[in-house]
Structure 1
């Protein structure tokens, strides 16, 4: 149950990070949708869990944490990108324009970002997240899990059918129809 909440919270924080990054860089795709309904970017949730699963001596030593987190999160990012490309037939990101990239799925620059994010995660964010998850009532787990799974299945269906991540921005079409 605890790992589910970590995944959801870090996926949500990743979504906020993506939106902030898109706005700072003036990216035209400013909302950074990764799910049909929920504001989640699962690659961040998976990356955070990978960091939290690193051995204690690695997590306690910043000189080990940085490179190990950069490697493990880059592997998560590569695997997530490969999954989306292979099974949903979409790509959420493309680093092919950046130096030292691997198939456009990962690159050195963003591997370094992952390393810095890991330091902030363990030193600043995770202690707050641990306190927050302790406040969540147990009855909330099942409905949250079901809705998250339903959203994941619907997201996968929409992506596979449309073959375009823009299909997740359904609210833009709804806004145009309402006007």
Structure 2
């Protein structure tokens, strides 16, 4: 097993904090886009926290990285190039749906509700907590994330100097911790 030096571990943690934040903000933007442009419901803060981010998307992104980064990095034979995206799609769909289901129970315990109770209107749903249509979108989003966005974000994060990366990751961690504390203690 290959062990990382302390500096490399710190760099990896900083990158994960920044990835978490990037994808939480992108998730919030996605939710607002759906609400305002697609469904035409008007704007509301789609997150449970004060800031423009949905942490469930950050969690999902980190879980996707944990589960699929080795598979994405592997060189495969030509026949597997067509199978791998299907496996990644199905894996992302299942993982995101499980995260969404768990998050609905956690949010209900903490706040008394979960933000996407509109799933009750979907043809195939479970208690209004998860539904087939969003699960398919999450699978497609996972493909976009792993094949397009993550390579770009990885380059962006690794272009930052170690000092800037450290400062940004600390600032993001403090911001998110304060926002979570406000949610829990209000």
TM-score > 0.5 by shorter chain: yes
Per-residue CA deviations over 1:42-95 (Å, capped at 9, x if unaligned) read 111111112111142378710100111000000011111110001221221111
Question: Which residue of 2 is the match for residue 156 of structure 1?
Answer: 184
TM-score, normalized by length of structure 1?
Answer: 0.80
TM-score, normalized by length of structure 2?
Answer: 0.77
In the alignment, which of 116, 120, 135 is matched to residue 140 of structure 2? 116
Q: CA deviation at 1:125?
A: 0.7
Question: Which residue of 2 is the match for residue 20 of structure 1?
Answer: 33
Q: Distance in 1 between matches of 2:57 and 2:147?
A: 17
Structure number, greater radius of gyration: 2
- Structure 2: give runs of 5+ residues left out of the alignment: 1-13, 75-83
| Structure 1 pair 102–58 and aligned structure 2 pair: CA distance change class (3 A) | farther
- Count how many residue pairs are aligned between Structure 1 and Structure 2: 157
In the alignment, which of 17, 20, 26 is matched to residue 4 of structure 1? 17
Question: Which residue of 2 is the match for residue 170 of structure 1?
Answer: none
In the alignment, which of 106, 116, 122 is matched to residue 93 of structure 1? 116
Question: Which residue of 2 is the match for residue 140 of structure 1?
Answer: 168
Runs (4 or more) in structure 1 with deviation over 3 Å come to 28-31
Pairwise CA RMSD: 1.8
Q: CA deviation at 1:30?
A: 4.1
| Structure 1 pair 87–33 and aligned structure 2 pair: CA distance change class (3 A) | closer
- Structure 1: give runs of 5+ residues left out of the alignment: 159-179
